Amino acid sequence: MKLFTNKTQRNAKLLRCAAIGMTLIFFGAAIFMTNPSKLIGDWQISLGPSTLLYKLWLYPPLDVYITVYMFNYTNVDAFIDGTDAKLKVEEVGPYVYQEVLSNHNVTLNYHNNTITYTPRREYIFVPERSVGDPKVDRIRAPNIPYMGVSTQAASLSMFAALGLSALAKRLNAQPMLEVTVHDYMWGYEDHLVHLASKFVPSLIDFSSFGIMEKLFREGNESNVVNMHLVEPKDRHGVKLPGAPRAYSLHSVNYERGFKRWEYDEATNGTHCNRIWGSHDATLFPRDMNEHDTFYVYRRTFCRLLPMRFNRTLTFKGLDAYEYVMDPKIFDSELHSPNSSCFCKNNQCLKRGVGNVSPCYYNMPLAITYPHFMHADPTLLRAFDGLNPNESRFTSTVMLQPQLGVPLHVHVRLQANQVVGNIKFNRLMEPFENLVLPLLWVDLTIENLPMSLQLLTHALKYALPILQLVIAASLLLGGLYQLIAAFMLCFWSPPAGLHKAELGEKSINVLGNLALATSLHKATSPECVPPEAQKLLPNDDAYRLEM
């Protein structure tokens, strides 16, 4: 009975070790095969109800700054009267504003895998980063509405041009203004603009004008953006072919392209006038490679800005891809399908000067790199004080390629006044056919907030390492249990059990033998006193009586 019990215990222990070992190996292999850390990461960094990315996206914690440098014209009077051959400009700044973004009126459209929302941006002055108080500091700079109207007058009839010139003279409009930096950026009263808003409200619906107001705040409360969500996948986890890229724009204000640049819905347009497929610079592509190019859209640019891969590097412990804007991004050619739409009336601006007038009430404005970098060298001939510098003015976007998280961003662009042919306006004649720099801005993300840094490190490194440790521990633990079961089955149980049983039997035999020997000696005649012995009926047997 004892031997049967030991065998049952041995079998139970063997089965227990085998079951535990197989279970541990199953879960360890399942972790390796399913990669749960990636599944959890993909879920949490997708836009959906209750995901971490969705909560962060509603009120992005990124510290986005717009650094503004104004151009102050210091010799306007001498240039107008012909004393000076060149305009002297000095760069004044920086004046820094923090851009605070929030997304509202959010609707998830499951039928076409998109999300619709209204982005709202506030701009808060940051005095500790600025050179002075923009409400106190004064500059002399081009009168943008007046110069715009004067340029447009050249295309009017002689009588209309004369009438407009007379009206401007009666209003005492001047080509150059002396105003505070704040008013020039965010709005100053102009009699010509005020009058135009009264008589042609369909063309000009504002009574004051500020260059930053038009570039960044225009339509801030009403823009409706429709964006694609993460690409759908098949049952094997492979992205479906032809699916739009994650977080790329589908439309803005229900338009998939710039109608002002003659976007054709039937042909899906070209890179010259598309909006769809670009990114709004809040969410970037994921799982990028070194051959990727992506496009950034902001209404400010009035076009898409292509970002091309430049190099790989490490930024604060994270692997990163650096993308740069193409030097030829603002070139336009009549025979290029990707830039011909920027040439109005079959006329293109000079190399490196991008037309944006259709986005700003057809006022002759243009966008370039700061200080006319990468532009036609003749643009610099009219100025003293401009110094193109690639190390200072190159635009770069540094992303974590797997997660698409922006690590470090500098997008540097300059707004300019384009002056064309002038008719019947003596004050404007010295500025004829010039491109006048107004200001340049640097849209900056310097560092990720600590919360996003920890999240990025956790998703990229901590979770995969923790997963590897857990999976390896499960596999090793399971292997150990299987080896123990194997030993119990083939080696340990027979040898150990036989020795134990044999030892136990030997002890019992030896014990019984010793007991018998002792009893025999104890009952032998030599060991019993004579008075205690009694002869039994048989002569060869004795009984001890105490």
Question: pLDDT value at position 404?
Answer: 81
Long-range Cβ contact pairs of 17-23 (< 8 A, separation 24 or more) = 17/481, 17/482, 17/484, 17/485, 17/488, 18/481, 18/482, 18/485, 20/478, 20/481, 21/477, 21/478, 21/479, 21/480, 21/481, 21/482, 21/484, 21/485, 22/478, 22/482, 23/478
What does residue 499 show for φ and ψ, rounded to 5 degrees?
Answer: -65, -40
pLDDT in tens, 428-480: 889 999 999 999 999 999 877 776 777 777 777 777 888 888 888 888 888 88
Domain, as residue range, for 34: 3-40+464-490
Distance of CA 326 to the CA centre of its chain: 20
Question: pLDDT value at position 365?
Answer: 93
Residue 485 shares a structural domain with residue 343: no
Residue 345 shares a structural domain with residue 440: yes
User: What is residue 215's DSSP assignment?
Assistant: I
Q: With 60 as the cut, is the pLDDT of residue 75 above it?
A: yes
Tell me if 520 is assigned to some domain: no
- Domain count for the chain, please give it: 2
Residue 348 shares a structural domain with residue 472: no
Query: Considering only CA atoms, which of 394, 388, 398 is closest in space to residue 309?
Result: 398
Question: pLDDT value at position 530?
Answer: 45
Q: Angle at the Cα of 74 (from 73 to 77), degrees rounded to 5? A: 95
Residue 138 shares a structural domain with residue 277: yes
Cα separation, 372 vs 385, whole angstroms: 12
Name the domain boundary from 394, 421, 448. Answer: 448
Tell me if 522 is assigned to some domain: no
Tell me if 391 is assigned to some domain: yes
Q: How confident is the model at residue 400 (pLDDT cuts 50, 70, 90)?
A: confident
Task: Assign 461 to helix, strand or coil.
Answer: helix
Residue 34 shares a structural domain with residue 118: no
Please tell me the least confidently modeled range out of 216-220, 326-330, 536-540, 542-546. 542-546
Tell me if 498 is assigned to some domain: no
Question: pLDDT value at position 161?
Answer: 66
pLDDT in tens, 20-34: 888 888 888 888 887
Residue 33 shares a structural domain with residue 159: no
Residue 244 shares a structural domain with residue 125: yes
Residue 151 shares a structural domain with residue 236: yes
pLDDT in tens, 6-64: 667 777 877 888 888 888 888 888 888 877 777 777 777 778 787 888 888 899 888 89
Question: pLDDT value at position 383?
Answer: 96
Query: Considering only CA atoms, which of 400, 176, 192, 415 is closest in space to residue 285?
Result: 400
Q: How confident is the model at residue 510 (pLDDT cuts 50, 70, 90)?
A: very low
Q: How confident is the model at residue 344 (pLDDT cuts 50, 70, 90)?
A: confident
Question: pLDDT value at position 5?
Answer: 52
Question: pLDDT value at position 4?
Answer: 42
User: What is residue 344's DSSP assignment?
Assistant: B
pLDDT above 90 covers what percent of the chain? 36
Cα separation, 336 vs 356, whole angstroms: 18
Tell me if 441 is assigned to some domain: yes
Residue 278 shares a structural domain with residue 302: yes
Name the domain boundary from 473, 490, 507. Answer: 490
Question: pLDDT value at position 108?
Answer: 92
Question: pLDDT value at position 500?
Answer: 43
Residue 113 shares a structural domain with residue 27: no
Tell me if 46 is assigned to some domain: no
pLDDT in tens, 109-159: 988 899 999 999 999 999 999 999 999 999 999 998 888 878 877 676 666
Q: With 90 as the cut, is the pLDDT of residue 286 above it?
A: no
Cα separation, 127 vs 134, whole angstroms: 9
Question: pLDDT value at position 312?
Answer: 92
pLDDT in tens, 197-255: 555 454 565 667 889 988 887 666 788 999 999 887 766 667 777 788 889 999 999 99
Name the domain boundary from 417, 448, 479. Answer: 448
User: What is residue 238's DSSP assignment?
Assistant: P
Q: How confident is the model at residue 196 (pLDDT cuts 50, 70, 90)?
A: low
Query: Considering only CA atoms, which of 493, 471, 525, 523 is closest in space to residue 3?
Result: 493
Cα separation, 461 vs 511, whole angstroms: 67
Residue 305 shares a structural domain with residue 414: yes
Q: With 50 as the cut, is the pLDDT of residue 522 above it?
A: no
Tell me if 505 is assigned to some domain: no
Residue 253 shares a structural domain with residue 375: yes
Tell me if 206 is assigned to some domain: yes
Question: pLDDT value at position 506?
Answer: 41
| CA-to-CA dists, residue 418 to 152, 285, 314, 330, angstroms | 11, 35, 41, 14
- Count of H helices and E strands in the chain? 13, 20
User: What is residue 405's DSSP assignment?
Assistant: E
